[in-house]
């Protein structure tokens, strides 16, 4: 294996729009997205047995792209692959949730501090847009769309801070928390609280008060920790 350090003229060197050029949408990606959302939305509950063959037939594709999608999901901890045996939607690893919250607090605390330092009026406007949308959705009690906007809010903050990579990490970490939360969110008034807390974060960012922004974010993240103990008795099969 010799080192052939040559250049690939056309596509390389971009770096910025990397993900755009290299890896146009492939069927494996489509299947991944589908399974991902199905698992996150609990349409495929934890413990459900998956079979490469069955899924391939359902999507009318070969096993190969299905397999690639499953491998990616297993890296994210969403499915467990038992070689030569079977694949199941992973049970929510209760033990990992506290750690996931720690990661979120650490990373989002840092991110929101930075965002508070560099936010422009336009950035604040973006946050306001998301918050007002959330307010509407909370009134309509549309939990699913509300979740999406919740993601958008946190992603926007990462964007403002200039840390897109951190958002990528957070997404993978959030997944397990979100799965647990989907079982618990129908708590009345919770969405209104979230909107209120988002407002506090927004205000701190707008005031360029990094310390206050961090405090508001940490408080917000503490509030969204799912009550795992309760969930364990309600849905014992879903956790481990």
| Site residues, DNA (CB under 7 A) | 8-11, 23-24, 26-28, 50-53, 60-65, 67-68, 81-87
**Does 233 engage in binding with a second copy (CB under 8 A)?**
no
**Does 188 engage in binding with a second copy (CB under 8 A)?**
no
CB of residue 132 to a second copy, shortest distance in Å: 30
Q: Which two tokens stand for residue 218?
A: 């940490």
Compute φ and ψ for 81, nearest 5 degrees.
Answer: -105, 120
**Does 45 engage in binding with a second copy (CB under 8 A)?**
yes
Part in contact with a second copy (CB under 8 A); list of ranges 128-136, 148-156, 160-168, 181-189: 160-168
Compute φ and ψ for 34, nearest 5 degrees.
Answer: -60, -50
Nearest residue (CB) to a second copy, 81 versus 145: 81
Nearest residue (CB) to DNA, 53 versus 208: 53
CB of residue 135 to DNA, shortest distance in Å: 41
Characterize 177-213 residue by residue with b for buried, 16 or more Cβ atoms within 10 angstroms of its Cβ, and e for exposed.
bbbbbbbbbeeeebbeebbebbbbbbebbbeebbebb
CB of residue 194 to DNA, shortest distance in Å: 38
191, 148 contact by CB (below 8 A): no
Characterize 126-164 residue by residue with b for buried, 16 or more Cβ atoms within 10 angstroms of its Cβ, and e for exposed.
bbeebbebbbebbeeeebeebbebbbbbbbbbbbbbebe
Residue in the block written with tokens 């990528």: 168
**Does 33 engage in binding with a second copy (CB under 8 A)?**
no
Nearest residue (CB) to a second copy, 72 versus 133: 72
Cα separation, 66 vs 79, in Å, equals 13
Across the chain, which distance is largest between two alpha carbons, in Å? 63
Which partner from the list a second copy, DNA, none does 33 bind, CB cut-off 5 to 8 Å by kind?
A: none
CB of residue 176 to a second copy, shortest distance in Å: 10
Which of 61, 101, 145, 240 binds a second copy (CB under 8 A)? It is 240
**Does 95 engage in binding with a second copy (CB under 8 A)?**
yes
Cα separation, 28 vs 74, in Å, equals 14
CB of residue 175 to a second copy, shortest distance in Å: 12
Q: 168 CB contacts (<8 Å, ≥6 apart)?
A: none
Q: Which two tokens stand for residue 209?
A: 């008060």
* Interaction site with a second copy (CB under 8 A): 1, 3-8, 10-13, 15-16, 18, 21-24, 26, 44-49, 54-55, 58, 68, 71-72, 74-75, 80-83, 85-86, 88, 91, 93, 95-96, 99-100, 102-103, 105-107, 109-110, 114, 162-166, 169, 173, 237, 240
């Amino acid at each position: 294996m010799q080192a052939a350090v040559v250049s690939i003229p056309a596509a390389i060197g971009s770096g910025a729009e990397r993900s755009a050029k290299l890896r146009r949408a492939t069927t494996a990606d489509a299947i991944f997205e589908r399974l991902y959302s199905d698992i996150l939305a609990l349409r495929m509950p934890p413990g459900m047995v998956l079979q490469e063959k069955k899924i391939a037939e359902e999507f009318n594709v070969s096993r190969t792209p299905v397999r690639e999608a499953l491998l990616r999901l297993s890296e994210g901890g969403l499915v467990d692959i038992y070689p030569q045996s079977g694949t199941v939607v992973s049970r929510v690893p209760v033990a990992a949730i506290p750690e996931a919250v720690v990661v979120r607090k650490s990373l989002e605390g840092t991110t929101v501090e930075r965002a508070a330092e560099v936010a422009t009026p336009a950035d604040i406007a973006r946050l306001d847009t998301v918050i007002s949308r959330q307010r509407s959705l909370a009134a309509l009690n549309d939990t699913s769309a509300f979740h999406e906007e919740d993601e958008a809010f946190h992603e926007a903050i990462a964007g403002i801070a200039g840390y897109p990579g951190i958002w990528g990490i957070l997404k993978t970490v959030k997944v397990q928390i979100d799965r647990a939360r989907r079982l618990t969110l129908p708590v009345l008034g919770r969405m209104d609280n979230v909107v209120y807390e988002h407002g506090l974060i927004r205000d701190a960012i707008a005031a360029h008060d990094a310390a206050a922004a961090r405090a508001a974010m940490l408080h917000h993240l503490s509030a969204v920790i799912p009550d795992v103990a309760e969930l364990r008795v309600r849905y014992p099969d879903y956790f481990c």
